[in-house]
Amino acid sequence: MKYKLLKFNAGLHWTTIVSEKILLAVIGIATCIASVQHLYNMFLAREILLADLFMLFIFVEIIGMVGAFYSTSRIPVTLPIIIAITALCRLIIMQSKEMEPLVVLGESGAILILSVAAYIMSMKDRISREKDKEFRGDRQEET
């Protein structure tokens, strides 16, 4: 029975891969459309604000995240964290005059926490790459 269940799960694994690729393609296309719409609205307004530049930067990061997935078949964890940091910065810039100081402080604290998390994750990636190089070096010495 357990073997049949494992075989069934392995048979359905392709659906996860295909749906993930399709949904990421949709996200990439929708992001491109949203960026063109945002650029068009900036053109109509004849004004470029700092919040607009942050929004365009978020679009670029999302497209980069989708591209990273298609080139490596994995999404680096730091990219969504950087997108969140950028979104919070945009929110603070757009609404800081209307927000209470404690809310701004809380969002700034969230940016600090996300920054520390991104740093830790980048260190983890660096350490795992070093371990991978050591492992490959050991294997080459054996042969």
Please state the pTM of the whole predicted model.
0.70
Task: Output phi, psi for 26, to 5 deg.
Answer: -65, -40
Q: Coil, helix or strand for 108?
A: helix
Q: Which amino acid is at 60?
A: V
- Number of other CB atoms surrounding residue 119 within 10 Å: 12
Write down the pLDDT at residue 43: 96
- Overall average pLDDT of the 61-88 stretch: 88
CA dist 20 to 24, 36, 56, 66, 67, Å? 6, 24, 25, 11, 13
CB 81 within 8 A of CB 38: no
Mean pLDDT along residues 35-48? 96
